[in-house]
């Protein structure tokens, strides 16, 4: 049984994500999960509650494809357990496991469910996006969002404020242009980078410079007295909506401007999954530093890394504004070979991007597709880490896969310098301000955990699961092993092939602890590269 967007409900998707997290982060590490006649049964180790879930198909990798009804054992009976009951149970278990309460948790899960309900009501028919631009449709396809996060869709504010900026509703909007005094502009990077964007903006008198601004963020910042005053005194002029359209991508705050073929990565003072999406000053600077420092390294990889040639912001006496109005420019996609598709859309259990590719029509085609896919994605990520000490963040939202007309993967494009790090000791960052250097650096083990989690747990496991939804029993991981084995006898890779457990990022525990994303906990997960015994 395949899941479809048509059958997607906010209640079920919320419950499924909670159970996915619960199994990965709480039950599986304590061996409290077992299959049982078409179901999977799980026990909350400390609360002692037993739950069960349906399976859409037999497991083919390290994760289960869960499907409602979700039930709780009471005496000898199985009673329905809806998303809010599950949310209570998860909270109770985590309170026992950590000895700490989290009064925000239930609200965050509820907000995420409400946001998804609003998105589903506003999105329109599942087929609406089929005939438009496939790249854009894929960026706007993550309706249920992160499948291993307890509150994947939570967004502050009422849907009436944000639905018009939501990628999931296939929205388009016009960023505003601000005219700001040139002497108050702060920017780094290629001096001419912004002129490619300004070509689509109005002309401004000498001494003034254009700054694009996300209308949602502009309204979130409007209460700040310094901004208020600057607008009232005409120090800053709001020139209104631009002539050129912006399409929000899967990260919500980064938008694509098709006319200019550029992305603008805006700040958004809204928590989306684990982070408030603000470009901190050291991240703005860090992106410019990494873009310069890594250009040669990226050129050696058999893949594209979307460049972030410059940032721009406004240096008034208010750091919230400096960061809140900071915008990073990112290279577009038109020069990529083939049609770029967001990896997350291909992995989406409710979507049809994968099934729509001609190459997926037969089991042989699907296996060849997976072989090509792993060959495009894994080697560049592993070479970046092993040969250069560069930690990419190749999770499903940070990777585009370019496909040929028959759907076969031909090239990978990686993005997001904010998540890209350098391993300590490999790069000389002594010339940088310490907060910039610190934010760019990971200890080698921390970096390896991040690489392995993003590449194998977050990304390839989920793509493999989506392939298995269409063609079960393909031996996908035997094929994937060959790409890892081809990298040579590096100790890290040998350990992977020997089947060491993989580090899985614990989004549920991280949210419960209210920890920063950088301090996220990891739990061990089964390694699908291990040779079956």
Ligand X SMILES: Nc1ncnc2c1ncn2[C@@H]1O[C@H](COP(=O)(O)OP(=O)(O)OP(=O)(O)O)[C@@H](O)[C@H]1O
Q: Which is nearer to ligand X, 272 or 301 (CB)?
A: 272
What one-character DSSP code corresponds to residue 25? I
Site residues for Mg ion, window 384-413 (CB under 5 A)?
397-398
Site residues for Mg ion, window 198-257 (CB under 5 A)?
251
| Residue 308 within binding range of Mg ion, rule CB under 5 A | no
> Rounded distance, CA 387 to CA 22, Å?
36
Q: What are phi and psi of 80, to 5 degrees?
A: -60, 140
78-91 CB burial, b ≥16 within 10 A, e <16: eeebebbbbbebbb
Q: Minimal distance in Å, beta carbon 55 to ligand X?
A: 21
Q: Minimal distance in Å, beta carbon 33 to Mg ion?
A: 30
> Rounded distance, CA 107 to CA 402, Å?
39
Q: Minimal distance in Å, beta carbon 422 to Mg ion?
A: 18
Residues of this chain that interact with ligand X (CB under 6 A) are 142, 145-146, 152, 249-254, 265, 272-273, 277, 344, 395-398, 415-416, 418-419, 458
Residues ≥6 apart with Cβ < 8 Å to 128: 170
C-alpha pair distances (Å), 487 with each of 375, 393, 424: 11, 19, 23
Strands 254-257 and 262-266: antiparallel
C-alpha count within 13 angstroms, C-beta hemisphere, residue 3: 25
Tell me if the bond preceding 419 is cis, omega within 30° of 0: no
Partner in contact with 209, chosen from Mg ion, ligand X, none, beta carbon below 5 to 8 Å by kind: none
Partner in contact with 509, chosen from ligand X, Mg ion, none, beta carbon below 5 to 8 Å by kind: none
Q: Minimal distance in Å, beta carbon 452 to ligand X?
A: 14
Q: Minimal distance in Å, beta carbon 165 to ligand X?
A: 13
C-alpha count within 13 angstroms, C-beta hemisphere, residue 416: 19
Partner in contact with 254, chosen from Mg ion, ligand X, none, beta carbon below 5 to 8 Å by kind: ligand X
C-alpha pair distances (Å), 55 with each of 1, 16, 64: 9, 11, 7
| Residue 139 within binding range of Mg ion, rule CB under 5 A | no
Q: Which is nearer to ligand X, 170 or 395 (CB)?
A: 395
Partner in contact with 380, chosen from ligand X, Mg ion, none, beta carbon below 5 to 8 Å by kind: none
Partner in contact with 111, chosen from Mg ion, ligand X, none, beta carbon below 5 to 8 Å by kind: none
Partner in contact with 20, chosen from Mg ion, ligand X, none, beta carbon below 5 to 8 Å by kind: none
Q: Which is nearer to Mg ion, 323 or 416 (CB)?
A: 416
Q: Beta-carbon neighbour count of residue 418 at 10 Å?
A: 22
Q: Minimal distance in Å, beta carbon 343 to ligand X?
A: 9
Q: Minimal distance in Å, beta carbon 251 to Mg ion?
A: 5
Return residues touching Mg ion (CB under 5 A): 251, 397-398, 416
């Amino acid at each position: 049984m395949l899941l479809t967007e048509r059958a997607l409900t906010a209640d079920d998707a919320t419950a499924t994500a909670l159970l996915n997290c619960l199994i990965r982060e709480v039950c599986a590490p304590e061996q409290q999960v077992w299959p049982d006649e078409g179901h999977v049964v799980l026990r909350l180790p400390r609360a002692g509650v037993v739950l069960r879930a349906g399976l859409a198909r037999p497991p083919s990798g390290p994760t289960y494809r869960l499907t409602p009804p979700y039930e709780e054992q009471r005496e000898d009976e199985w009673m329905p357990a809806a998303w809010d009951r599950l949310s209570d149970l998860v909270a109770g278990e985590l309170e026992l496991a950590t000895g700490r309460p989290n009064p925000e948790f239930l609200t965050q899960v509820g907000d995420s469910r409400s946001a998804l309900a609003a998105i589903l009501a506003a999105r329109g028919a599942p087929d609406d996006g089929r005939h438009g631009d496939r790249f854009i449709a894929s960026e706007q396809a993550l309706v249920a969002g992160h499948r291993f996060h307890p509150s994947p869709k939570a967004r502050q504010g009422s849907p009436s404020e944000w639905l018009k900026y939501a990628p999931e509703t296939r929205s388009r909007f016009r960023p505003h242009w601000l005219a700001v005094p040139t002497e108050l502009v702060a920017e780094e990077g290629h001096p001419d980078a912004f002129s490619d964007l300004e070509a689509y903006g109005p002309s401004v008198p000498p001494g003034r410079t254009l700054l694009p601004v996300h209308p949602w963020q502009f309204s979130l910042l409007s209460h700040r007295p310094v901004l208020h005053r600057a607008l009232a005194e005409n120090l800053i002029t709001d020139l209104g909506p631009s002539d050129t359209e912006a399409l929000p991508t899967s990260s919500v705050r980064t938008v694509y401007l098709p006319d200019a073929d550029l992305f603008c990565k805006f700040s958004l003072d809204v928590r989306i999954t684990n982070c408030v999406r603000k470009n901190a000053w050291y991240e703005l600077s860090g992106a410019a530093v990494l873009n310069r420092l890594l250009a040669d390294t990226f050129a050696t990889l058999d893949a594209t890394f979307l460049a972030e040639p410059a940032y721009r912001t406004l240096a008034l006496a208010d750091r919230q504004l400096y960061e809140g109005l900071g915008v990073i420019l990112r290279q577009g996609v038109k020069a990529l070979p083939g049609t770029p598709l967001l990896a997350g859309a291909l992995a989406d259990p409710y979507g049809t991007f994968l099934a729509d590719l001609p190459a997926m029509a037969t089991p042989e085609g699907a296996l060849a597709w997976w072989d090509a896919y792993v060959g495009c994605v894994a080697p560049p990520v592993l070479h970046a880490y092993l040969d250069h000490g560069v930690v990419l963040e190749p999770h499903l939202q940070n990777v585009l896969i370019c496909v040929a007309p028959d759907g076969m993967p031909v090239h990978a494009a990686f993005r997001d310098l904010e998540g890209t790090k350098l391993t300590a000791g490999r790069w000389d960052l002594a010339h940088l301000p310490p907060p910039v250097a610190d934010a760019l650096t990971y200890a080698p083990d921390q970096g390896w955990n991040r690489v392995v989690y993003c590449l194998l747990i977050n990304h390839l496991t989920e793509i493999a699961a989506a392939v298995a939804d269409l063609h079960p029993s393909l031996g996908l991981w035997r094929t994937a092993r060959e790409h890892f084995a081809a990298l040579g006898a590096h100790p890290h890779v040998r350990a992977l092939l020997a089947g060491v457990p993989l580090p899985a990022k614990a989004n549920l525990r991280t949210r419960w602890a209210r920890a920063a994303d950088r301090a996220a906990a990891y739990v061990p997960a089964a390694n699908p590269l291990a040779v079956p015994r």
